[in-house]
Amino acid sequence: MKQNRLFSKSRWQLASWYAAILSIVLFICALGFYEAVAHAHRITIDRELKSVAGTLHDSLLPVLEQPGKIEPEVKELLPNTCLVETDCYKRDRFQSLRLGVIGQDKYYLRLFDLSENLVAVAGMQPELPQVFEREKWSTLNDAEGIRYQQISFLLHTQHGKNWGYIQVGRSLQDFDTYVGNVRWLLLLGVPLLVLLVMVASWWLSGLAIRPIYQSYQQMQQFTADAAHELRTPLAAIQATAQSDLMLPSLSEDKAKNTLKSIVRQNKRLSYLVADLLILCRIDGEINSNTSHKKREKIALANLIIEVEEDLAALAMASEIELSSQIKVSQPVEIVGDRTQLYRLITNLVTNAIQYTPAVGKVTLSMIEEHNDVVISIRDTGIGIAKKDQKHIFDRFYRVDKARSRSQGGSGLGLAIAKAIALAHHGSIQVTSELNKGSTFIVRLPLAN
């Protein structure tokens, strides 16, 4: 694939699309995760702050009598409450105070009268504006940039009158630190994940495009092999004709021999073209799933006997003993194309006869196994080497000895047999041993 520009470019494009889409999804997921974490913590803090403020309001309500006035009971309830008008209101001192209801490290309390003047404070006291914020919820920043979440609402006396306003705030430093850590984790982690996505995309695009590239290579090889096979008889015809044209005169016998040679090469060319057309038609039926249109129920035993009778003369001429063994208790039928199945069995038997020495044997057998019918063609021929068995059904593949051109044929017989078996939802395989013979086994599903 590296040597083919078209597929390399396609792989880069496919990998780029993979990486881009997955990266976008990853960024969206990271952003969603970040927002979900931040939102969950914000909700938790708001609930916590609302709960503390509600507790303080409910605790102060029974002890407040006059609007804007801090009763002595308030100091008993909140021992560290400091009135703004007293000497205790100093920031340095407040840093060491601790309250029973409010933690000094996170929360602060402010009480305003109805005129929005600060009356008392408690808890930590950040350097925030000493003015009343009318909004119920607000977020403020101190001089150091630390954020605070604050809630404000009306405070009532025990008689139901408006006393003033209460503000309860909380430091968001721990929240910002946590969310900041999550943000940095995502900022560092997402690019690494994108890099892994890019590597994975390159690998996945290679896996995706490999079958296409293999098909492209097979098509190229098939085209080259077909061109070579077609060129051989054409070259022979041209050479024969040109050699006769160079003669000053041509006798009748010489002309007849030339015509016989041309007819012979033309027949070879016709057989090759016919085989190619058969392969193309079967491939088209498999790919388009239209082969069922010509299907019918076929009694395989009768078809095997018919093939045996038709090839008996060829076997006799080659001094080969051809026999059949039908090992079924009842008639066996499959659904298929009779012409194609006849061609399948004929090709295998012809191949067996062709590569079996004189006085050898070729045996056709049929058995029923589970929901399949198994057809075996066994010969005592020269056999096929292990390294060649996995390629024996490739188109135009020839084993040096077993499938040499000196024996004739187009090199497509076994390829056609495999294509027909696949078109009938079956399979074909070979077991062989050099100098001992070969067995071709075809499995086809029964009609039921």
Least confident of 12-16, 66-70, 85-89: 85-89
Span 32-52, mean pLDDT? 90
User: Which residue's structure tokens are 């033309």?
Assistant: 266
User: How much is the pLDDT for 430?
Assistant: 93
User: Which residue's structure tokens are 């016998």?
Assistant: 253
Residue 227 lies in a domain: no
Beta 321-327 vs 361-369: how paired, if at all? parallel
Model confidence at 129: pLDDT above 80: no
Domain boundary among 156, 180, 204: 180
Q: How far is CA 19 from CA 9, 10, 34, in A?
A: 15, 14, 22
Same domain assignment for residues 173 and 296: no
User: How much is the pLDDT for 134?
Assistant: 64
What domain count does the chain have? 2
What is the C-alpha to C-alpha distance for residues 115 and 337, in angstroms, rounded to an integer?
A: 101
Residue 305 lies in a domain: yes
Q: Percentage of residues in the chain with pLDDT exceeding 70?
A: 88
Residue type at 20 in one-letter notation? A
Span 413-423, mean pLDDT? 89
What is the C-alpha to C-alpha distance for residues 105 and 391, in angstroms, rounded to an integer?
A: 80
Residue 322 lies in a domain: yes
Q: How far is CA 192 from CA 178, 281, 306, 347, in A?
A: 21, 51, 69, 58
Domain boundary among 146, 180, 214: 180
- CA dihedral in degrees (236, 242, 248, 252; nearest 10)? 40
Model confidence at 95: pLDDT above 60: no
Same domain assignment for residues 161 and 310: no
User: How much is the pLDDT for 401?
Assistant: 44
Same domain assignment for residues 16 and 153: yes
Beta 437-445 vs 82-83: how paired, if at all? unpaired
Residue 119 lies in a domain: yes
Residue 228, exposed/middle/buried by CB under 10 A (0-12, 13-18, 19+)? exposed
Domain that holds residue 393: 291-445
pLDDT digits (tens, 9 = 90+) for 305-340: 999 999 999 999 999 999 999 888 788 888 888 888
Average pLDDT, the chain: 82
Q: In what order do the strands lie in the sheet with 437-445?
A: 321-327, 361-369, 372-379, 437-445, 427-433
Higher pLDDT, 261 or 97: 261
What is the C-alpha to C-alpha distance for residues 144 and 140, in angstroms, rounded to an integer?
A: 11
Domain boundary among 137, 152, 180: 180
Residue type at 180 in one-letter notation? G
Backbone angles phi, psi at 115, to 5 degrees: -85, 5
Q: How does residue 290 score in pLDDT terms, banded at 50, 70 and 90?
A: low
Q: How does residue 88 score in pLDDT terms, banded at 50, 70 and 90?
A: low
Q: How does residue 92 score in pLDDT terms, banded at 50, 70 and 90?
A: very low
